[in-house]
Amino acid sequence: MICEKKNLSYSENLRIWAKLQQKSIGFVVIKMNFAQKIGLSILLSLSFNLAWSQPKVDEKALAEEANILFNDLEYDAAYAKYSQLVSLYGSNPLYTFRFGASSIFVTVDREKSLAFMRDAIKRGYNDAEVHYYVAKALHLNYKFSEALTEYQAFEAQADKKTLSKSDVKGQIVTCKSGINLLSSIKDIQVLEKTKADIATFFRFYNVDESI
């Protein structure tokens, strides 16, 4: 009978124990309860020790490493550091901005880069560099006119030392070239439509250079 009771659920054993008040069954229930308590205490102990065994992040040291990498234009490595800083200390707009700025050179989603940078700007980060990196993201998204405005704002606000280390003059030139190029593109007009199989479509190409 004891073996049969062992196969029952914990709640069923408890009800039977309360009903019959037999020592043998009571022992089974108490043993199960004790095992559960031991298991729970071990899990809690392990979780507690694991949490305290994790190395604490030194914000100041991590930020210093990230800033050095960013200023040295090591954007891949800086991106990883700022990612960690943003996840731990997201209220700091500098970390958010530079995370977004670094991502311009690491990821292909420049809209997301702009979102991070603009969020930091809204929260008070207003260093002259904001104009350069916002311009860079816009530039790579072919928004040449908007990028040009930001480059020019950076050129007007940055100090001489910062300007001497930047490529802003060259970026302004390429933006202007991009604007001119886009303005010279004519609307495409469809002269004739023809359906063709994939295997034979090339036969319909007109290679007459005079057109």
Determine how many CB atoms are found less than 10 A away from the CB of residue 1.
8
Q: List pLDDT tens digits, range 113-137.
A: 999 999 999 999 999 999 999 999 9
Nearest to 141 by CA among 172, 187, 104, 166: 104
For residue 131 the two structure tokens come to 């104009």
Answer yes or no: are the C-beta atoms of 111 and 104 closer than 8 Å: no
Output the pTM of the full model: 0.64
Q: Give Cβ neighbours of residue 78 (< 8 Å, ≥ 6 apart).
A: 66, 69, 70, 98, 102
Q: List pLDDT tens digits, range 49-74.
A: 554 445 577 899 999 999 999 999 99
pLDDT at residue 203 is higher than 80: no
